[in-house]
Structure 1
C-alpha cells in the first residue's frame, strides 16, 4: 500500500514535468531566435550586397547587360554656337572679337552598343559605341538652317600643323591658302557645322596628298564638329572593359582602348588607359574619394572630385564635379603638367591637339568658367556662371550607376600669328570659342524605385532581426522572471498572514496607535472610560449584594435559635 506521502509526491512530479518541458522549449526557441535575429540584423546588408553583385556582373543573361546595351534613360544634348559678330575687325589688334551665343539646338541621343564580344578567359568584353541623334525642334531655340559665322577651323588647323614644316612645304601651304580665297572666316548652317558636315577643298587636298607630306591623314570626307558621329561606330574607338565576373571591384572599368592600355597622345605617365568607360563606375563608392573617367574624345582619363551627398528622385547619391583640377595644365596641380602636350597654357584649358589630328584644339568649361581670367580678357560676349556652366554628375554609391549628369564642355581653337602665312600674318593670338554643349540625363522614376528596393530590404531585414532578438530575449527570461515574481508573491502572502496574526493578538493596542485617526482614538478612549465606570458600579453592586446576603443569613440563624 502506498502512503499518503507517496501519493502527494507522485502528483507533484506529474505536475512539475510539463513545466520543465515548457521551460526547456522556451530556452531552445529563445536562443534560436536571438541567434537568428542577430545574424539577420548584422548580415542582412551583406546578403543584399551579394545578391546585388550577382546581378551587376555583365553577362549575356544579366539584367544589367540589357540596361547597359540600350540604356533606358533619355540623353538630352544641347548645342550653343558662338556667332562671330565682328570678323571685319580681326586685323585690328585693339578690337576684341565679339561673340553672340545662339541656341540651344537640342538633340536627343539614343546610345547603344554594337560588335559585342565576350572574353571569359580574362572576364572582359569588347564593344563599340553607336549613337543616333534626333533634332528636337520643339525644345530648340533656333533652326538647323540658321547660319553661323565662325573662324575657318580647317585653315587654322592646316597652318598650325605646317608652321613646323620645312620652308618649301610652308610655301606650298601658303599658296594653297591664298587659292582657297584667303579668308579666315566662314559662314555655314548649323546643321553643316555639326552632324551633317560639308565638303572643303583644303580637306580634299589634305586627303589627296601622301601622309609623308602632311604628317597626318584625316579619315573623313567632310568637315563638321560632330561629323560623322551620327550612326557611326568608328569615331569613339574599340573598348575592352571588365565584366566583374572575377572581381566585382573591376566592374565597368576599362581594360584597353583600341587594343592598347595607353593612348600615346600625351607623355607616358598621362597616357595610361584606366577608370570608367563612361557607363559604370566602381561599386561601393566612398565619400571624399575621387572617381576617374576615360574620355575617348580627349584621349585621356579625367578625374572628378567628391563634393557632397545629395538625393535624386528620392535616391541617395554622391555628387562629383570636374572643378579646376580637370582643366588644369600643371599651373595649379603639378601632376597635370604632362598634359600640356608642348603647349602649356594658363589653367582652364586642356590641350587635345594630339587627339585631333594635330589641330590646335583645346577643351574648357563653357564661357571659360573656372579658367584663368586671361581667356575672358581676350574676348567679348562670354559670361561664365556656375549653375549654367559647371560639370557634375551624381552616382548611386553602391552600384556606381548614374543618377544624374550635366556634362558641359566647350571647344576652342588656338588662332595665332604665323609670319609664313599671309592669312595669319599680324593676327591676334586668341583661343577662339567655337561652341559648347550640355549633355543631360536623369534617372527615371521607375528606375529610381528599383534603387530604393535595396536599402528598404536591408532595413526590413534589420527590423525583423531586432524583433526576433526581442522575442527571443522575452522567451529566455519568461520562466526566470515568472519564478522571481512567484517568490515575491509568496513572501508577500506570508508577510500579510503574519500581520493578520499580530493584529488579532494586539488589535486594541494597534487601534490606539497615533497613526490612527484622532477621532477614532477619542471615541475609543471614551468607550474605555464608560467601561471602567460600568465595571466600578458592577463591583459596588456585587459588594452590596454580598453584605445583604450576610445580614439575611445572620437573621435567619437567630430566628432558628430562638
Structure 2
C-alpha cells in the first residue's frame, strides 16, 4: 500500500509542469533547511526545557517517586576503634593504642514521610526515615563483637558541667563515682551503633530536675546511631524548593526545623542553604563548588570540583571534601565562625553545639588531610587517600548522584578537669571512636536512562545536519541542472561550428593542385573523419527529434484522457 502511494506521488510530481515541480522542491528544501538549523541551534535548549519540566517535584510525577524512595542502593560500612591499652591512660608517656575492627556493613533503605506541599512558595516539607539492615555476609565481624572504648557519656557530662557553679559541679563529681574511676567501657558493636545501651548516669539524668543539671536528655539509651533505625525525628524537618517557580532553586533547602538559620554557630555561619543530599542544582559548571546542608552537623559544607570522571559510561563532575570542609579558619578564614570558641588545628570540624554540648569533632578517617598533631597523640592510625578521602560524582546536566563515597570519623575531646576526680590529671586528646563509609553508585539500568539525554541531543544534531544538507541540495538542484544543460548546448554549437570550418578548409585545399601530395592526403583523411562525425551528429539530432515528438504525443494523449 505504501509503495503504491509513493509511486503515485512520484508519478504526480513527474506529470506536473516543470515550473510547479521546481516551486514544490524549493519549498520542501527550504523547510528542511529551517528544520535542520533549528535542531542544530536550538535543539539543546528545547531538550533542557523538557528536562526542567520533568524534573519539577509534583505529586504523582516520576521524579517525585524517585525522590521519595531513592532507587540507589546505599551501604554503610562502620569501622570501630578497639582501645587496646585503657589501663595506661593515666600514664602521660604512653599513647592510646587502637585496633580497627570492621567493616560492619548495613544496608540503608531511606524514604520520605510526613510530606506536605506548599504551593504558595513552591516548596514541600518532609522528614527522612531510614531502615538499616545488617549485611552479615559482607561484614568482617558480628554484631556481638566486644569493643573497648571511651565512656563518651561521662566525657560529655564532665565537659558540659565544667562551667557550672561549684555546687552543681560537686553533684556531678559524686554522680561520676558510679564508674569507679574507670574511663573505659566494653560494649557490643550492636549496642554501640543502633541498638544503644542503658547507663546509670543516663537514668540518673532523666530523673534529676533540669534546673539542677542543665541538661535535657532526649533519649533513654545511648549509642552512636541511636535511635536512627526507623526513626523520622533524628534528622529534623526539611523544607525544600520543588522548582515549580524557579529551577535554579530546585532541590535546595529553604528551611530546616522551620528556620532559615541555626543556633549552632555564629550568625555569619548560621545560614541554612545548599542541597540536603538528593539533588543538586541543574546545569553544573566545572570548577564551581557545590554546597550540601548536613543536619547531623547543623551546617552547610562546601565541596570543590576536581575533575571529570566516568561512572557506568556517563561523564560526571567529581567533587571532593578536601581540607576546606574540615578547616576551622586556619586555611580558609571564612570557616573561623565554625570554631564554637575552640579553634583546634586544621582537620577537625567542631560540632559540639549540634550534639547537645558534647565535645564532638568530625574528621576524615584516621585523621586524613588533618594537621599532623593529631596522629602524634595516638598509635594505630594510618591515613590513606584511596581509603579515607570523601568524594562524589554528579551528572552535570541534572545534578543527580552518580557515585558517592562519604567517609567521616567521629572523635570526642578528652581533657583534664580538676573539679572531677575521674578526669583529674588526664591527658588532652581527641579520642577516635569510629568512622563510617556511606557508599552508593548508579545502577546499570538507571545509567541507561541517564545516557538517553545525550543520545537524544546527538541524534537531534545529526538529524539537523542531514536535513540541512538535503535541503541545500534540493534548492541547488534546478540551478545546477540548468547550468549543465546550457553547457551541453554550447558544446554542441561549438562542435557544429568546427564541422563547418573543416568542410571549408577541405574544399579550399582541393582547389589548389600545387599543394604537396602529402598535405592533400592528410587533409583528405581528416575530411573523412569529419564526415563520419557529421553523419553521427545528424543521426543524434534525428533521434532527439523523434524522442521529443514521442513525449509530446504522450502528453497530448494524457491530457485528452
Q: Give the SS at the match of 1:105.
A: strand
Per-residue deviation, 1:419: 1.1
Identify the residue that residue 231 of structure 1 maps to in structure 2.
230
Q: Output one character per residue of 1:498-527: Cα deviation in whole Å (capped at 9) or x when no partner.
A: 2233333335999xxxxxxxxxxx994696
8 Å contact 2:205–2:213 — kept in the other structure? yes
CA distance in 1, matches of 2:506, 2:132: 106
Structure 1 residue matching 2:393: 3-state secondary structure:
strand
In structure 2, the partner of 1:18 is 17
Report which stretch shifted further, 430-439 or 21-30. Answer: 21-30
Paired position in structure 2 for 1:211: 210
After superposition, give the CA deviation of every residue in 1:201-228 in whole Å (9 maximum; x if it has no partner).
1111222222222223120000000000
1:168 correspondence with 2:200: no
Aligned partners of 2:504 and 2:119: how far apart in 1? 98
**In 2, distance between residues paired with 1:497 and 1:365?**
94
1:40-59 aligned at under 5 Å gives the runs 40-59=39-58
**3-state SS of paired residue (2:17):** helix
CA–CA distance in structure 2, aligned partners of residues 155 and 500 of structure 1? 120
Does the 8 Å contact 2:228/2:234 carry over to 1?
Answer: yes
2:66 match = 67
Match of 2:140 in 1: 141
Confirm whether residue 126 of structure 1 aligns to residue 125 of structure 2.
Answer: yes
For residues 417-476 of structure 1, give each alpha carbon's deviation from its aligned partner in whole angstroms, at most 9, with x where no partner exists.
111111111111110000000000001111111111111111111111111111111111
Aligned to 1:111: 110
Aligned partner of 1:337 in structure 2 is: 336
Distance 1:509 1:411 in 2: 116
Equivalent residue runs for 1:242-257 within 5 Å: 242-257=241-256
- Structure 1 alignment gaps of length 5 or more: 1-14, 511-521, 529-562
Q: Any idea what the Cα deviations from partners look like across 1:358-383, whole Å, max 9, x if unmatched?
A: 00000000000010000011111111
Deviations 1:223-262 (A, max 9, x none): 0000000010100011111111111111110111110111
Q: Secondary structure at the match of 2:191?
A: helix
Q: For residues 174 and 307 of structure 2, what CA distance do their matches in structure 1 show?
A: 56
Bigger shift: residues 482-491 or 332-341: 482-491
Any idea what the Cα deviations from partners look like across 1:88-138, whole Å, max 9, x if unmatched?
Answer: 111111111110000000000000011111111111111100000000000
Aligned ranges 1:74-473 → 2 under 5 Å: 74-473=73-472
Q: Quickly say closer, same or farther: Cα 1:342–1:24, change in 2 above 3 A.
A: same
SS where residue 342 of structure 1 aligns?
coil
CA distance in 2, matches of 1:500, 1:161: 119
In the TM superposition, what is the alpha-carbon distance from 1:161 to its structure 2 partner?
A: 0.5
What is the alpha-carbon distance in structure 2 between the residues aligned to residue 319 and residue 264 of structure 1?
32
> What is the TM-score normalised by the length of structure 2?
0.87
| Distance in 2 of aligned mates of 1:412 and 1:239 | 27
Looking at CA atoms only, which structure, 1 or 2, has the larger radius of gyration? 1
Distance 1:482 1:527, change over 3 A: closer
Structure 2 residues not aligned, in runs of 5+:
1-13, 510-515, 523-561
Q: In the TM superposition, what is the alpha-carbon distance from 1:496 to its structure 2 partner?
A: 2.1
Q: CA 1:76 to 1:523, structure 2 compared with 1: closer, same or farther past 3 Å?
A: farther
- Residues 470 and 527 (structure 1 numbering): CA distance in 2 closer, same or farther, change over 3 Å? closer
1:355, 1:289 → 2: CA distance? Answer: 28
Name the count of aligned residue pairs.
503
CA RMSD of aligned residues (A): 1.9
1:533-552 equivalences under 5 Å are: none
Q: Is the 8 A contact 2:360 2:410 kept in 1?
A: yes
Equivalent-residue separation in structure 2 for 1:216 and 1:163 (angstroms): 13
Distance 1:527 1:251, change over 3 A: closer
Which aligned runs of 4 or more in structure 1 are off by greater than 6 angstroms? 525-528
Contact 2:168–2:213 (CA under 8 A) maintained in structure 1: no
Match of 1:49, SS state, is helix
How far apart, CA to CA, are the structure 2 residues paired with 1:227 and 1:16?
A: 85
Answer with 293-302 or 88-97: which moved more: 88-97
CA distance in 1, matches of 2:168, 2:505: 135
**Compared CA separation, residues 195 and 490, structure 1 to 2 (3 A):** same
SS of the residue corresponding to residue 332 of structure 1 reads coil
Pairing 1:466-545 to 2, within 5 Å after superposition: 466-506=465-505, 524=518
Q: CA deviation at 1:151?
A: 0.7
CA distance in 2, matches of 1:166, 1:51: 64
Instruction: Please report how far the alpha carbon of residue 492 of structure 1 lies from its aligned counterpart in structure 2 after TM superposition.
Output: 1.8
- Structure 1 window deviating more from structure 2 (495-504 vs 330-339): it is 495-504
Any idea what SS the aligned residue of 2:138 has? Answer: coil
**Residues of 1 paired with 2:497 and 2:391: CA distance?**
83
Change (3 A) 1:422 1:57: same
CA distance in 2, matches of 1:70, 1:49: 25
